[in-house]
Amino acid sequence: MSILHTIILGIVEGITEFLPISSTGHLILVSKILSINQSDFLKSFEIIIQLGAITAVIVLYWRSLFDLETIKKLIVGFIPTGIIGFLFYKIVKTYLLSSQATVLWSLIIGGIVLIVFELWLKNKNRSNTNPDQQNISNITYKQSALIGLFQSIAIIPGVSRSAATIIGGMLLGLERKTIVEFSFLLAVPTMIVASGYDILKNASLFSVNQVGTLTLGFCIAFVVAIFAIKFFIKFISNHTFIAFGIYRIVIAIVIFLSL
């Protein structure tokens, strides 16, 4: 990987990690478009670089991460993802992370789900403000566990961890802004464990130059993610996720046609 490749992938990660469009899917597709060698290091890079974006959440939401009740709910939410991710880690990294077809079909199906879900909500005439669910403190442990179960679907590249948790949370009756912020926070233990596990398994295989590449990608993803998070919070105040659903479908079709 060149420095330019690292910068591009860092920007892509920072922008897409918290939007419902799949950061892993975009990293896989962009790396293929850039003709980057599909090595084990690239697969590790695509996992570990997400720590940069997660650090942005820690910086912006550090107060919430010091609240004991919030921490316990995040642990409960992480458990389903942790168990499923551990059981299927080898399959995901060996087969799914190198499958362009899996990413493209996941983008299309996920886009359709987002659009249908938003239209369903509109037909229900559901209000975006729920007095009983105005903040994370109102989320129950049962809801946390179920949201974590929805999040585990995102081990499939292209699904989008953000989209899975947000849809899951809203189906459980959570207000839009509340589940988006909980999704941000749930990403912290999820990605720290996922990246940490990959580092423990592969750290000894990284060269000095590769460590430098990881560090650069981390820093770029961190800076870009701060702006992406602030944008997303403002966006959801007045918009649905339909635009993201359309984008997922269009980008997948364009890439399918270019193959």
- Residue 58 CB partners (closer than 8 Å, separation 6+): 65, 188
Q: Could you read off the pLDDT tens digit of each residue along the chain, which spans 259 residues?
A: 899 999 999 999 999 999 999 998 899 899 989 988 878 888 888 888 989 999 999 999 999 888 999 999 999 999 998 899 888 878 887 777 778 889 999 999 999 999 999 999 887 755 444 544 468 888 999 999 999 999 999 889 889 999 999 999 999 989 888 999 999 999 999 888 888 888 888 877 788 899 999 999 999 999 999 999 999 999 988 899 999 999 999 999 999 888 7
pLDDT of res. 40: 81
pLDDT of res. 125: 58
Tokens describing residue 125: 């005439």
CA distance 145 to 182: 12
Tokens describing residue 212: 């430098």
What DSSP line would sit under 100-148, residue for residue? Answer: HHHHHHHHHHHHHHHHHHHHHHHHTT--S--GGGSSGGG--HHHHHHHH
Total domains present in the chain: 1
Measured from the Cβ of residue 173, the count of other Cβ atoms closer than 10 Å reads 12
Q: What are phi and psi of 91, to 5 degrees?
A: -65, -45
Domain range for residue 11? 3-258
Q: Model pTM?
A: 0.85
Q: Would you report the helix, strand and coil content of the chain in percent, each value rounded to 5?
A: 80, 0, 20
Element (H, E) at 239: none
pLDDT of res. 134: 60
